[in-house]
Amino acid sequence: MEFAFPEYNLRLMAPEIFLFLWALLIIAYDVLTKRKSETTAGYLALAGLMITGLILGFTGTGHGFGNMFVSDTAAKFFKIIFLGSAFMAIGSSFGIMREKIVNHRGEFYGLILFSTVGMMFLSSSNELLSLYIGLELTTIPLFVLAAFFKDDKLSVEAGIKYFIVGAFSSALLLYGISFLYGLSGTTDLVQMKINIAITHLTFQNIGVILILAIVLVVAGIGFKLSLPPFHQWVPDVYQGSPTPVAAFLSVGSKAAGLIAFAKIFVNGLFAFHHPDMAPNDWGRLVALLAVAAMILGNTVAIRQTNIKRMLGYSSIAQVGYIMIGIVAMNALGMAAMGFYIFAYMFANMGAFAAVAIVEDKTGSCEISTYSGLARTSPLLSATFAVFLLSLAGIPPLAGFMAKFYIFAAGIQAAQHDPGLYWMYWLVGIALLTTVFAIYYYANIIKQMYFAKEPSPHKVTYNFPALTVLLIGLAGLFVFGIYPEPVLHFASGIASSFGIIP
Amino acid sequence: MTDGSQVGVIFWFLSFVILISGFMVVSLKNIFYCALFLVLCLFSVAGIFILLEAEFLAAAQVLIYVGAVAILMIFAIMLTTDMASKEITQTNENVTVGVFVSVIFAISTILLIDKTSVWRYQDHDFSEGVTVTLGKLLMTKFMLPFELVSVLLLAAMIGAIVLARKERS
Amino acid sequence: MFHYLALAAILFSIGLFGVLTRRNTIGILMSLELMFNGATINFVTFNKYVVTDALLGQMFAIFVIVVAAAEAAIGLAIVLLIYRNWRCIKTDNYGVMKW
C-alpha cells in the first residue's frame, strides 16, 4: 500500500495555529499570574483576534493535507465572520468580568478562542472527517461556556440543555454521515459528489437509503442552525447563558452550521437539490423547514418578555431567510447568503452588546427594563434601535440590502428553472413574515423612546463595549449604503462550491 | 464477491447480548444496574468489531469506552446519588411517544437498508495487519484530524476542570 | 452486511428511545453512548464490505470514539454542576423538552 506523505502546506493554516497558541497563552497567563487584573485577559484575547485577522489577510489559497484543509474564498469569508463575532462577543464581556467571573477569566477567553479555531477548521474542510471534528471542536467549548455561571441555576440549565441537544444532534449527524460514506465509499466531499453520480448512472437510482441519510444530516445540522422542529433549545439556552456567550452562539455557531450545511449539501449532494431527483431531493425539505423557521420565529417572538429569548426567536427567523439563499443554489444565492450573515453579524452582536450593557447596569433582561431608556441613555437607545431596524430589514441599513439580495436570488432561481416554481411561494412567505416581524422589533424601540416616564437607570459604558457598539453601527451603515465590495468578495463563495455564475 | 449475507453463530450470540443489554440500559429503574449493563453492551460491541476484522478498534473500544467512559459514568453516579436510598430508582416519562418514535425509526431504517441495492461490494484484504496500516495512515493521510482531535481533547479537559472545580472563595 | 447494519440500526433506535424517555440525566448520557456505538458499527461494517478508501471507516470510528469520550467527560462535568445546584439529577428539575 502506498503511504505517500500528502503535501502539508502548514503555511495555509497559520491563522488557526496562531489563534490556538494565543489561546494557550491566555490560559497560561491567567494561571501563572498572582494579582489578577480584570481586563488584561480580555484585551489579550482581542489583540490575538486582531492579529489573527491580519495573518488571515496574508494567507494564500490552496490545499493542504490532501483535501482536508482547503483555503479558498468561502473559507476566508467565513473565517472573517467567525473572527468578527468572537471579537464582538469578547468586547461585550468586560462587564461580567468585574463581578460574575472572578476565577476563570483566562479559561473563558481561551475557550471562546478554541471554539473559534474549531469554526475556522470547519470552514476550511472539504472532507467529512475534518468537518465533523471541526464541528465538535466548535461546540464542546460552547457547552462549557453556556454553563459558566456555575452557581446560577439558569446557566447550568442552559448548559445541560445545550449539551443534550448538541450531543444528540452529533449522533444523528454521525449516523447520516455513515450512510453517505457507505453509498459513496469516501468522505471527501468532492469525491463523494463524483461517486454518487457514478452510482446513480450505473444503477439508474441512488438507493432509497439516501433519503434517510439526508434527513439525518438535516436533523443533525438543523439542531445547530435551530431550524424547527429542532429549535426548542434556543430560548432557554440564550436566556440562561452569559450574554456574551449567547451572542457568540447566535452568530458564530450559526455561521458554522451554515458553512457545514452548505459544504455537505451544496457541495457533496450537489445533484440532489432539484425536484427531478425526488424522493431524494433536499431542496424542498430544506425549504419547508425554512418556512417553518420564518413563521415560527417571527410569531413567537412577539409574545416574549425577555429580550434574550426574543433575540433567540428572531435569530431562528433570520436563519430561515438565509436558507432561501442556499436552496436557490445559484451564484447570487451563495453570495447573498454570505452577505446576509455578514450584515447579521454586525446587527446581532451589536444588539447583544447593548443587552449586555443594560444587563450590567440593571441586572435584568426583561423588555420592561428598557422602557424610557432613550431619555437617560440616548447613545445606547439609538444604537440599539439601529441594530433592531437592520434585523427587521429597513433601508438604508445593511439588513435591507441583505434581504433584498436573498429574495432576488430566490426569484432568479425560480425564473431560470420552471421546476423550482415553489421558490416564488418561499420568497412570498418570506416577504410576508418580514413585514410581520417589524412589529416586535418596533415594539422595543417604542418602549425605549415613547414611554411615559424616563427610565430610572443610566447606563455606563466600558471602553470595549462601546467599541463594539460603534463597530456594529459603522458596519451597518457603511455596508448598507455601499454593499458592493462585500458582495463581490462573497461571490467567490459560489465558485468554492462548484457553482459557476 | 462476498456481501456478508452469511453470518455465523457468534454474530447471533453477540447481537443478542447487545440488544438485550442495550434494552436494559434504557429501561431499568436502578441507574447503577444500567451502568453495568452498559459495560456489557460495550464489551459485546467490541466483539462485533473483532468479527468485522477491526481488531485495533475492538481494543480501543474496550480501553476507552469501557475503561474510561463507563467507569467515569459509574463515578458520576456514585458522586451524585445516594446509592442506598430510594432515589436511585426512577421511571421513564413519555414512554409511549418514545416507543413509537424509536420503533418507527428502526423499522423504516431496516426497510430502507433492505431495499437499497446499489452497494458496491468489494473484498478487502486485511491480512497484512490492520493496526500497522492504521498507524501508518494516522501519520500520513490523517495527520490533520489527529492533531485536531488532540486540540479537542485539550479543550474538553480544560472545560471539564473549569466546570467541576470547587471554588475556594 | 445487512445483518450488521440492522444491528446498528436497532442499537441506534434503542439509544434514541433512551434519550427521549429517561428521567435521570446520566441515563440520557448512557443512551447517547449507545447511539454513538450504533453509528460506529455502521462505519466499520461499510469499511469491510463496500468499495472504500483504505481503512477510512475504521479511522473514522477511532475518531468517533475519541470525540464521544470527550463529550462524555464534559457532560458528566455539567451533571456534577446540576447536582451541586439542585441536589438531584432528575430531569424534572429543569424540564428537558426536546420536541
> Residue C89 is placed in which grid cell?
439529577
More confident of the two residues A280 and A386: A386
Instruction: Check whether residue B79 and residue B133 sit in a common domain.
Output: no
C85 CB within 8 Å of a chain B CB: no
Q: Which domain holds residue B80?
A: 1-87
Q: Which conformational region is residue A35 in: left (phi greater than 0), alpha (psi within -120 to 50 degrees), or beta?
A: beta
| Neighbouring subunits of C (3+ Cβ pairs under 8 A) | A, B
Using one digit for the tens of pLDDT, what is the confidence trace for A104-142? 888 999 999 999 999 999 999 988 999 999 999 999 999
Burial C34-60 (b: 16+ CB within 10 A, else e): bbbbbbbbbbbbbbbbbbbbbbbbbbb
Q: How would residue A278 be classed by pLDDT, with cut points 50, 70 and 90?
A: low
Q: Which of C15, C53, C79 sits opposite A185 (nearest CB)?
A: C53
Which of B69, B116, B141, B149 is most worth mutating to test chain A (most A CB atoms within 10 A of its CB)?
A: B116
- Of how many residues is chain B composed? 169
pLDDT the model gives residue A449: 85
Using one digit for the tens of pLDDT, what is the confidence trace for A157-206? 999 999 999 999 999 999 999 999 988 888 888 888 888 888 877 777 77
Instruction: Check whether residue B64 and residue B12 sit in a common domain.
Output: yes
pLDDT the model gives residue B146: 92
Q: What is the ipTM of this complex?
A: 0.95
**In degrees to the nearest 10, what's the CA dihedral of A158, A161, A164, A169?**
-90
A315 burial (CB, 10 Å; 0-12 / 13-18 / 19+) is: buried
Q: Which of A20, A69, A144 sits opposite B144 (nearest CB)?
A: A69
The CA distances from residue A414 to A270, A286, A321, A333, A411, in Å, are 17, 16, 16, 12, 5
pLDDT the model gives residue A120: 95
pLDDT the model gives residue B30: 86
Identify the residue whose cell numbers are 473514522.
C60
Which of A104, A156, A230, A236 is most worth mutating to test chain C (most C CB atoms within 10 A of its CB)?
A: A156
Instruction: Check whether residue B83 and residue B1 sit in a common domain.
Output: yes
> Residue A279 is placed in which grid cell?
424522493
Q: How would residue B86 be classed by pLDDT, with cut points 50, 70 and 90?
A: low
Look at residue B136 and tell me if it is in a domain. Answer: yes
Q: Which of C29, C43, C98 sits opposite A181 (nearest CB)?
A: C43
Partners of C63 on chain A (C-beta within 8 Å) are 129, 132-133
| Neighbouring subunits of A (3+ Cβ pairs under 8 A) | B, C
Residues A183/C57, Cβ–Cβ less than 8 Å? no
pLDDT the model gives residue A316: 93
> Residue A13 is placed in which grid cell?
493554516
Instruction: Check whether residue B1 and residue B66 sit in a common domain.
Output: yes
pLDDT the model gives residue B83: 67
Domains of chain C: 2-93 (1.10.287.3510)
A185 CB within 8 Å of a chain C CB: yes
pLDDT the model gives residue B1: 45
Instruction: Check whether residue B2 and residue B76 sit in a common domain.
Output: yes
Look at residue B111 and tell me if it is in a domain. Answer: no
A64: which strand partners? A69
Using one digit for the tens of pLDDT, what is the confidence trace for A307-358? 999 999 999 999 999 998 888 888 888 899 999 999 999 999 999 999 999 8
pLDDT the model gives residue A10: 82
> Which of residues 24 through 53 in chain C touch B, CB cutoff 8 A?
24, 26-27, 29-31, 33-34, 37, 40-41, 44-45, 47-52
Instruction: Tell me if A133 and C67 make a contact (CB, 8 A cut-off).
Output: yes
Partners of A211 on chain B (C-beta within 8 Å) are 112
Alpha-carbon distance A161 to nearest alpha carbon in chain C (angstroms): 7
Could you give the CA distance from residue A286 to residue A274 in angstroms, rounded to a whole number? 12
Q: What mean pLDDT comes out for the span B62-87?
A: 86
Which of A131, A133, A135, A198 is most worth mutating to test chain B (most B CB atoms within 10 A of its CB)?
A: A133
Flag whether pLDDT at C96 surpasses 60: no
Instruction: Check whether residue B71 and residue B17 sit in a common domain.
Output: yes
Q: What mean pLDDT comes out for the span A399-412?
A: 90
Chain B residue at shortest CA distance from A129: B145
Instruction: Check whether residue B2 and residue B83 sit in a common domain.
Output: yes
pLDDT the model gives residue C98: 47
Average pLDDT score, chain A: 87
* B77: CATH: 1.20.120.1200
Partners of C99 on chain A (C-beta within 8 Å) are 229, 232
Partners of C60 on chain A (C-beta within 8 Å) are 129, 181, 187
Look at residue B162 and tell me if it is in a domain. Answer: yes
Q: How would residue C10 be classed by pLDDT, with cut points 50, 70 and 90?
A: very high
Q: What mean pLDDT comes out for the span A244-262?
A: 93
Look at residue B98 and tell me if it is in a domain. Answer: no
Instruction: Tell me if C70 and B31 make a contact (CB, 8 A cut-off).
Output: no
Q: Which of A172, A179, A187 sits opposite C60 (nearest CB)?
A: A187
- Per DSSP, helices labelled H in chain C are 2-21, 25-49, 56-86
Flag whether pLDDT at A275 surpasses 70: no
Flag whether pLDDT at A51 surpasses 90: yes
Q: What mean pLDDT comes out for the span C18-42?
A: 93
Look at residue B75 and tell me if it is in a domain. Answer: yes
Instruction: Tell me if A203 and B162 make a contact (CB, 8 A cut-off).
Output: no
Flag whether pLDDT at B168 surpasses 90: no
C34 CB within 8 Å of a chain A CB: no
Look at residue B66 and tell me if it is in a domain. Answer: yes
Look at residue B123 and tell me if it is in a domain. Answer: no
Average pLDDT score, chain B: 86
* Domain endpoint, select from B87, B116, B136: B87
Residue A132 three-state SS: helix
Give the residue numbers in B contacting A (CB under 8 Å), as ranges.
108-109, 112-113, 115-120, 128, 133, 136-137, 140-145, 148-149, 151-152, 154-156, 158-160, 162-163, 167, 169
What whole-number percentage of chain B has pLDDT above 70?
91
Partners of B153 on chain C (C-beta within 8 Å) are 66, 70
DSSP letter at A78?
A: H
Q: How would residue B103 be classed by pLDDT, with cut points 50, 70 and 90?
A: very high
Cβ neighbors of A69 (< 8 A, separation 6 or more) are A9, A12, A13, A63, A121, A124, A125, A130, B144
Mean pLDDT lowest among A22-26, A111-115, A260-264, A450-454? A450-454
Flag whether pLDDT at A35 surpasses 80: no
The CA distances from residue C16 to A106, A206, A231, C65, in Å, are 37, 27, 18, 18
Using one digit for the tens of pLDDT, what is the confidence trace for A444-482? 888 888 877 777 777 888 888 888 889 999 988 888 888
* Number of domains, chain B: 2
pLDDT the model gives residue C99: 40
Which of A104, A160, A196 is most worth mutating to test chain B (most B CB atoms within 10 A of its CB)?
A: A104
Chain A residue at shortest CA distance from B109: A212
Instruction: Tell me if A160 and C79 make a contact (CB, 8 A cut-off).
Output: yes
Could you give the CA distance from residue C42 to residue C39 in angstroms, rounded to a whole number? 5
Alpha-carbon distance C12 to nearest alpha carbon in chain A (angstroms): 9
Partners of C27 on chain B (C-beta within 8 Å) are 26, 31, 34, 90
Look at residue B40 and tell me if it is in a domain. Answer: yes
The CA distances from residue B143 to A2, A5, A361, in Å, are 16, 10, 49
Q: How far apart are the first and last CA of chain C?
A: 33
Q: How many CA atoms lie within 13 A of A57 on its CB side?
A: 5
Which of C2, C44, C63, C71 is most worth mutating to test chain A (most A CB atoms within 10 A of its CB)?
A: C71
What global pTM score does this model have? 0.94
